[in-house]
Every structure is written in structure tokens, then in C-alpha cells.
């Protein structure tokens, strides 16, 4: 039986409706992203918009299911100190970001919710999210899965990518394609410029398809002229549709496996 109200947005429910949710068959997605410069051709909300759009697309798929997926208020700000050299960026300190995630979950946990998924849209958040869910496990005995959407579709990105390695990094072939699919009215393709990354070492390549193993803190003002790493000029709406659909499919399949986990596997008494 599908649960009553088919609203996918957590914040549009009343407390009575939230109280009535079946805890075992409800999973809450928390989208995370960033407000940061994305070159001259994309809006500064690109990362949180993409994470939220994918989250909403997945929640929609559960509308007639016995399980329910709700999207929590997206966490708009991320950790973007490497973009602060450009106007437009709003960046949180690592501890602030971790605290917002933790306190969102610690507000829900006492009311019986224990199935969560963090869907991330900003590369700069990934390390922090791993550390944060580890701390949540230690402090609340709760396992919170976290993923960055592009890591779920590496093969898709390899298949559709027409730029050389380095072409999918930031405001790049991938992110621009997604934007052309999801909201073309906000993309200024006439301002898109190919700006291939100049790595500090041959071990630290930045690309969503195959990043190098060595991480070196970036500084986009130092490392790029226009705030781009990659080649947005080869982006297309068609590629964006593939990225969006394949990301939804992969994450949906992951969520099915998360629903199959018992409460005791996610939350220790
Ligand atoms: Zn981005």
C-alpha cells in the first residue's frame, strides 16, 4: 500500500503527516551541494540544483511504491574555499557544514527516522561527508550512507564523454550537459570556454571519469582564468539526459538495497 500523502518534499508536510510516516518504509534524502562560481556560463547554484533535481527525480519514482522517499530541505551551502577567489561563492567552514548535516539528522533520529541518504552534488564536500557520517556513527550509532552522484555513473561518463581526460572537472562537459538538459534557459553557451586543468603533478588529474590518486587543495583563482576546469563547449542536452537518467537509475537501485537492510543493520540499540 502506498503511504497517504504523495508529497515528495519533507518541508511541505505537516507535523501530523510526518508523525504518521511509517519509519521502516520511509527514507529521507538530504541533498548537499554548494553555492559557488561555475564559470561565466552557469549559475552559482549548479551543484545543489543538480543534487536536488536528481533527489526529486528519484523520490517521484517512489510515489506509487510501498516505500516512500522524501527529500529533506537541500543544504545549499557547501565547503568551497577553493572558489572564494571569485565573486558569487558562499562557503562554509568544514565544521559548520558537518554540524548542519549532523543536526539535521539528530533532529530526525529521536522521532524514529533512521533511513537516510546523503546525495552530494559538490566534489569539495565529499571528504567532509565521509568524515561526518563516520562521526555520526560514533556519536549516534547510526549508519548514514553518502554518495556523490557522478561516482555512481562512471561508465556513463566514459561512454558519452567526448572531451579528453580533464574535460570533466568543474563547470565542465558533465555539469554543463546536465544544465542544458534540466534548465537550458540558465546556460550561456556563448560564454562557455574550454579551460583544461593544469595539474600540479601528473598524479593529481581532476576529472569525474578518472581522477588522479593524489589530492592537492585547489584554488580556482590560481588554477584557472575563468573558473572552469574542463570543456563545457562539447556539452549537449542529450548527454545531460543520459547523465540524469543513469544517475537516477543507479541511485534508485542503491536505495532498493538500502530499504532491504534491517533497522538493526543501520542503527544499533
Ligand atoms: Zn559543480
Task: Quick: pLDDT tens for 176-235.
Answer: 999 999 999 999 999 999 999 887 788 888 889 988 888 888 899 999 999 999 999 999
- Find the 175 Cα to ligand 1 centroid distance in Å: 6
Report d(CA 141, CA 232) in Å as an integer.
Answer: 43
Q: Is the pLDDT of residue 125 over 60?
A: yes
> What is the pLDDT of the chain when averaged over all its residues?
95
Q: Is the pLDDT of residue 1 over 50?
A: no
Q: Which residue ranges form the domains of the chain, and what is each CATH number?
A: 10-266 (3.40.50.10310)
Q: What is the DSSP string of 35-78?
A: B--BTTTB-TTHHHHHHHHHHHHHHHHTTTSSSEEEEPPPB--B
- Find the 67 Cα to ligand 1 centroid distance in Å: 31
Burial 78-110 (b: 16+ CB within 10 A, else e): bbbbbbbebeebebbebeebbebbbebbeebbe
Least reliable range by pLDDT among 47-51, 214-218, 237-241 = 214-218
Beta bridge partners of 58: none
Q: Give mean pLDDT, residues 108-122.
A: 98
- Find the 117 Cα to ligand 1 centroid distance in Å: 20
- Find the 229 Cα to ligand 1 centroid distance in Å: 10
- Find the 259 Cα to ligand 1 centroid distance in Å: 29
Q: Give mean pLDDT, residues 80-89.
A: 96
- Find the 171 Cα to ligand 1 centroid distance in Å: 6
- Find the 39 Cα to ligand 1 centroid distance in Å: 10
- Find the 2 Cα to ligand 1 centroid distance in Å: 35
Whole-number pLDDT of residue 216: 85
**In the chain, % of residues over pLDDT 70:** 98
- Find the 38 Cα to ligand 1 centroid distance in Å: 6
Of 39, 62, 36, 60, the C-alpha closest to 48 is 36
Amino acid at each position: 500500500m502506498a503511504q497517504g500523502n504523495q508529497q515528495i518534499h519533507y518541508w511541505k508536510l505537516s507535523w501530523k503527516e510526518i508523525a504518521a510516516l511509517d519509519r521502516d518504509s520511509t527514507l529521507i534524502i538530504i541533498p548537499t551541494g554548494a553555492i559557488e562560481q561555475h564559470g561565466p556560463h552557469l549559475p552559482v547554484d549548479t551543484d545543489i540544483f543538480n543534487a536536488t533535481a536528481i533527489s526529486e527525480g528519484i523520490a517521484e519514482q517512489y510515489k506509487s511504491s510501498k516505500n516512500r522517499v522524501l527529500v529533506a530541505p537541500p543544504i545549499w551551502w557547501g565547503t568551497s574555499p577553493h572558489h572564494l577567489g571569485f565573486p558569487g561563492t558562499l562557503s562554509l567552514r568544514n565544521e559548520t557544514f558537518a554540524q548542519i548535516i549532523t543536526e539535521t539528522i539528530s533532529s530526525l533520529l529521536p522521532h524514529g527516522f533512521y533511513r537516510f541518504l546523503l546525495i552530494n552534488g559538490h566534489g569539495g564536500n565529499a571528504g567532509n561527508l565521509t568524515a561526518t557520517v563516520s562521526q555520526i556513527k560514533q556519536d549516534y550509532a547510526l549508519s548514514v550512507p553518502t554518495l556523490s552522484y557522478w561516482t555512481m555513473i562512471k561508465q556513463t561518463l566514459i561512454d558519452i564523454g567526448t572531451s579528453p581526460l580533464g574535460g570533466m572537472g568543474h563547470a565542465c562537459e558533465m555539469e554543463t550537459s546536465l544544465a542544458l538538459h534540466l534548465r537550458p534557459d540558465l546556460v550561456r553557451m556563448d560564454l562557455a570556454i574550454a579551460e583544461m586543468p593544469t595539474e600540479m603533478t601528473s598524479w593529481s588529474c581532476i576529472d569525474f571519469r578518472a581522477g588522479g590518486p593524489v589530492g592537492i587543495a585547489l584554488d580556482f583563482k590560481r588554477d584557472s582564468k575563468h573558473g572552469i576546469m574542463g570543456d563545457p563547449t562539447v556539452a549537449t542536452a542529450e548527454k545531460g539526459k543520459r547523465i540524469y537518467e543513469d544517475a537516477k537509475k543507479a541511485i534508485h537501485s542503491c536505495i532498493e538495497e538500502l530499504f532491504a537492510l534491517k533497522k538493526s543493520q543501520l542503527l544499533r540499540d
